[in-house]
Amino acid sequence: MTDTQHGPRGPHSAPADLPTQYAPAEVEGPLYERWVERGYFEADAESAKPPYAIVIPPPNVTGSLHLGHAFEHTLIDALTRRKRMQGYEALWQPGMDHAGIATQNVVERELAKEGTSRHDLGREAFTERVWRWKAESGGQISGQMRRLGDGVAWSRERFTMDEGLSRAVQTIFKRLYDDGLIYRAERIINWCPRCLTALSDIEVEYAEQDGELVSVRYGEGEDSLVVATTRAETMLGDTAVAVHPDDERYRHLVGRTVKLPLTDRAIPVVADEHVDPEFGTGAVKVTPAHDPNDFEIGRRHGLPALAVMDEHAVITAHGPFQGLDRLEARSAVVGALRAEGRIVAEKRPYPHSVGHCSRCKTTIEPRLSLQWWVKVGPLAQAAGDAVRDGEVTIHPKEMETRYFGWVDNLHDWCISRQLWWGHRIPVWYGPDGETVCVGPDEEPPSGEGWHQETDVLDTWFSSGLWPFSTLGWPERTESLEKFYPNAVLVTGYDILFFWVARMMMFGLYAMDGTPPFRTIALHGMVRDQFGKKMSKSFGNAVNPLDWMDAYGSDALRFTLARGANPGVDVPIGEDWVQASRNFCNKVWNATRFALMNGATVQGPLPDPAEMSAADRWILSRLNTVVAQTDALYDDYQFAKVSDTLYHFAWDEVFDWYVELSKTTFAAGGRAAEVSGRVLGEVLDVVLRLLHPVVPFVTDTLWTTLTGGESLVIASWPADSGFRDAAAEREIGTLQEAVTEVRRFRADQGLQPGQRVPAHLELAGTPLAAHEEAIRALLRLEPAGAEFSATASLPVAGAKVALDLSGAIDFAAEHRRLTKDLQAARKELTQTTAKLGNEAFLAKAPDHVVEKIRARRATAEADIARIEAQLENLPRG
RNA sequence: GGGCGCAUAGCUCAGCGGUAGAGCGCUGCCCUUACAAGGCAGAUGUCACAGGUUCGAUCCCUGUUGCGCCCACCA
């Protein structure tokens, strides 16, 4: 690389600066602060560079860093760091979400401990209290992100309740309201009787639960029918029984009434298509005030909705059940029905799906109430079309099906919450029933009888604006012009519906049809080393900070990146983090070696004519790896990027090239100089390629190696186009030969360090230029006068003769060679048979036939070699 | 009830029509002066089962079994 910026310390420091082991704890903290102080992560809206923006999926202000964040942040950080190095104006937009219910719950719990409640405080004092909580203990995650090395533009940090973002919320609310896309209506909503608020459909989690299905006789004698229910207590609010219009069994009852047990009411029997005659008795009790389906039936038949529970899910209906909680009421009602002999069947346990509040796990109570809604039809249509038209790409593609399935079948979105912490709905009600929606620059109506809506908005309403509200919208700021739309959204598939789809809807709506991002890259969930979901209750949850303390942030990051196959869950275990730590240490020591041997990045690369085959080989491979890395990054293949670099660095550079270069360095002279420059180049590029994933260790090493200011602002390597197939073949042959002799040595029980006299006949073979290296790698001494070969290994046309002084038993080697010979002969038979197959030759593509030919040739060569080796083995 | 996905080495996962791969783990030998957080060599798989397509299938098709996940208003 030629763009190394020299810092004040000169070309490079003495290798003695580097201890034999990498100590991340000493490096990471100060290094991160230096990056931030120098403003590397800040993004300039006025820059001439092309933009590359990613927003952070805003963590809850109540949250602290877990492995899921660490994972997601590693991916986003790697993407933005690479783009920054590629010369883009890279922006990783940080910030947090006010997390309505979650935060309110936290502060309410705090108040409960103090023996008070939000109701004692009142709305204003309570919200002040929440702000105070945020100032004191909120946003722990920001500090933890520094530990991870997240390269975010801290000066741009935003909070969804900031003034600017509140303005954005108010603006879009007003616009949607004026466009008729926000309305108020009374419907059945999901009600949490503990949080005392409405929830949207996706904030409800369904779980199989054992309940009881009781069949109850309504009415008397011939005019009776049996309905089944798992929620007996709601019968107090029944206002009809429904049957299918074509159901012969009940035709005579349709239009008539039956008496509702335990009450003095008679309720009509109605015919409705919704009823499945196959299910149960084919007759359904209808409770319009407490069941969404029943509500619809009620609407179709003009039935009254009779509410029998209050917001705490306590029975309000007059009579013996009044004041009972819904569960108490259920058994009481069943008991009373049983006493009247009206229970005709009971099924217990009866497993069925029950909805729970995603925040507090309380069972949801469907409840009739007046709420605010977003009419999602047109918005969702646009959100779907943007993906269908290819304006936005979802990665991996399989997730598109899920996206369409949701976006195309969306119910209206209930956006009002009966909470105090959040964006208060900007609507005022007048004394004569007027409703006025107030924009951000308008004075709310004042005077006798006017008051503002008390509900706040769903948290996801404001996070849906995140990609543009953080950039200053509704103002047309330079940042908005520059960084909208974002390049890509990186997030988990679990919030595809919660968040991604909403950003799509709002982004397209607010920004005149421009989607919020061009690509949606969905990642999986972090799991434990057995692929199990991590959870506190299961006891397998890990605090990422512990692992960062023990092994360094780079080790954690590398492990996560290495597991990141698109859209697939990522298992992680401590062993794997250790392995990554080992890799970081290996990089560290390889660089130490290079520094101790005069590796340099100074000056231009020598002419290839001056280089050894090993030099040309590694540079050829290096450039191939640069090209591969780019292709993989552009496809969000983080696991493969990491794996490619891991193997290239460790296997090829550190094991082979470094070992080969030792001979060169020992010899000194021009060849050593050339190799030193090549090694410097290779390390320089490898460190750059690794930097996005393991920023700390690479920056530390790179600045030492090159004297440059920082890898964060260094340039990303480009494939120079240099390839040398001949050198790659030559070194390949060398590797095979060395491995073959090593295997022989190992089989013979020779200790790795033991020097063995040997005579090498390499002239005229591809190995001719490598005698010194081969002797060094294989610990072969020059043969003395009394040399007598006891074993001779033919490899690649050359011959390596070893003097083993007759001390070795050759039986094992004979057995192994015989086994290999059999395998080679089998291969020969198979390939020959294949090449004799006319159908194969006629239909298989040329490259496959060539490959089989090559395999046959290899098998033949192997047989010859092994036979020769057996020949040379002493008998006995 | 729909939809999607997965079953490959002891574990976690890549591969996806032409001789089965990685990491960790395992076996043996070595502190070879960058690194024992290391080096070298090695073992391990009827690629879930049954059919089909093909010159050829772990890879494509159909079915079976066993697991996940998402969605849905089943009383």
In the 158-177 segment of chain A, residues within 7 Å (Cβ) of strand B are none
Considering only CA atoms, which of A90, A65, A66, A73 is closest in space to residue A142? Answer: A65
Q: DSSP string covering A127-145, please? A: HHHHHHHHHHHS-HHHHHH
Strand B close to A17 by CB, under 7 A: no
Nucleotide with C1' nearest the A594 CA: B34
Strand B close to A537 by CB, under 7 A: no
Strand B close to A568 by CB, under 7 A: yes
Distance, in Å, from the CA atom of A384 to the CA atom of A388, rounded to the nearest integer, reads 6
In the 602-621 segment of chain A, residues within 7 Å (Cβ) of strand B are none
pLDDT digits (tens, 9 = 90+) for A261-282: 888 888 899 988 888 888 878 8
H or E segment to which residue A510 belongs: helix A501-510
| Residue–nucleotide distance: A599 CA to B34 C1' (Å) | 13
Nucleotides of B under 7 A from a protein CB: 3-5, 11-15, 18-19, 22-25, 28-32, 34-42, 54-56, 69-75
Strand B close to A249 by CB, under 7 A: no
Distance, in Å, from the CA atom of A130 to the CA atom of A412, rounded to the nearest integer, reads 30
Strand B close to A292 by CB, under 7 A: yes
Strand B close to A406 by CB, under 7 A: yes
Nucleotide with C1' nearest the A231 CA: B75
Could you give the 3-state DSSP secondary structure of residue A795? Answer: strand
Nucleotide with C1' nearest the A284 CA: B75
This prediction has a pTM of 0.92
Distance, in Å, from the CA atom of A332 to the CA atom of A678, rounded to the nearest integer, reads 85
Strand B close to A581 by CB, under 7 A: yes
Strand B close to A527 by CB, under 7 A: yes
Cβ-based neighbour number of residue A367 at 10 Å: 21
Distance, in Å, from the CA atom of A813 to the CA atom of A793, rounded to the nearest integer, reads 12
Q: For chain A, what is the mean pLDDT?
A: 89
In the 704-743 segment of chain A, residues within 7 Å (Cβ) of strand B are 738-739, 742-743
Distance, in Å, from the CA atom of A243 to the CA atom of A514, rounded to the nearest integer, reads 49
pLDDT digits (tens, 9 = 90+) for A281-295: 888 999 999 998 899
Contact criterion met (CB below 8 Å) for A177 and A311: no
| Residue–nucleotide distance: A656 CA to B31 C1' (Å) | 21
| Residue–nucleotide distance: A494 CA to B51 C1' (Å) | 38
Which residues are CB-contacts of A177 (< 8 A; sequence separation ≥ 6)? A427, A437
For this complex, say whether ipTM is above 0.90.
yes
- CA–chain centroid gap for A260, Å, is 54
| Residue–nucleotide distance: A160 CA to B8 C1' (Å) | 47
Nucleotide with C1' nearest the A596 CA: B34
Nucleotide with C1' nearest the A578 CA: B37
Considering only CA atoms, which of A810, A791, A790 is closest in space to residue A876? Answer: A810
Nucleotide with C1' nearest the A653 CA: B34
Strand B close to A402 by CB, under 7 A: yes
| Residue–nucleotide distance: A147 CA to B24 C1' (Å) | 26
CA atoms A562, A564, A568, A570: torsion sign = positive
| Residue–nucleotide distance: A807 CA to B40 C1' (Å) | 21
Encoded amino acid at A563, one letter: G
- CA–chain centroid gap for A660, Å, is 40
Nucleotide with C1' nearest the A571 CA: B12
| Residue–nucleotide distance: A10 CA to B16 C1' (Å) | 52
Distance, in Å, from the CA atom of A847 to the CA atom of A449, rounded to the nearest integer, reads 85
Name the residue closest to the C1' of B40 by its CA: A752
In the 834-863 segment of chain A, residues within 7 Å (Cβ) of strand B are 837, 839-840, 843-845, 848, 851-852, 855, 858
| Residue–nucleotide distance: A563 CA to B22 C1' (Å) | 12
Cβ-based neighbour number of residue A348 at 10 Å: 9
In which residue ranges of chain A is pLDDT below 70? 1-17, 805-810, 874-876
* Token pair belonging to A75: 């991916």
In the 344-373 segment of chain A, residues within 7 Å (Cβ) of strand B are 352-353
Strand B close to A549 by CB, under 7 A: no
| Residue–nucleotide distance: A74 CA to B28 C1' (Å) | 39
| Residue–nucleotide distance: A819 CA to B43 C1' (Å) | 15
Contact criterion met (CB below 8 Å) for A162 and A49: no
Distance, in Å, from the CA atom of A558 to the CA atom of A579, rounded to the nearest integer, reads 10
Nucleotide with C1' nearest the A229 CA: B75
| Residue–nucleotide distance: A14 CA to B43 C1' (Å) | 44
In the 644-663 segment of chain A, residues within 7 Å (Cβ) of strand B are 647, 650, 654-655, 658-659, 662
Strand B close to A410 by CB, under 7 A: no
| Residue–nucleotide distance: A612 CA to B6 C1' (Å) | 49
H or E segment to which residue A113 belongs: helix A100-113
Could you give the 3-state DSSP secondary structure of residue A792? Answer: strand
Nucleotide with C1' nearest the A749 CA: B29
In the 798-837 segment of chain A, residues within 7 Å (Cβ) of strand B are 827, 837
Strand B close to A445 by CB, under 7 A: no
Name the residue closest to the C1' of B25 by its CA: A575
Which residues are CB-contacts of A692 (< 8 A; sequence separation ≥ 6)? A77, A78, A79, A81, A82, A85
| Residue–nucleotide distance: A240 CA to B63 C1' (Å) | 47
Nucleotide with C1' nearest the A744 CA: B41
Q: How far apart are the first and last CA of chain A?
A: 59
Strand B close to A285 by CB, under 7 A: yes
| Residue–nucleotide distance: A739 CA to B19 C1' (Å) | 20
Nucleotide with C1' nearest the A592 CA: B34
Predicted pLDDT of residue A704: 94
| Residue–nucleotide distance: A752 CA to B43 C1' (Å) | 20
pLDDT digits (tens, 9 = 90+) for A157-209: 999 999 999 999 999 999 999 999 999 999 899 999 988 899 888 888 888 78
| Residue–nucleotide distance: A854 CA to B43 C1' (Å) | 28
* Token pair belonging to A179: 């466009």
| Residue–nucleotide distance: A207 CA to B61 C1' (Å) | 36
Give the CA angle between residues A819, A822, A823 to the nearest 5°. 90
pLDDT digits (tens, 9 = 90+) for A358-405: 878 888 899 999 999 999 999 999 999 999 999 999 988 888 888 988
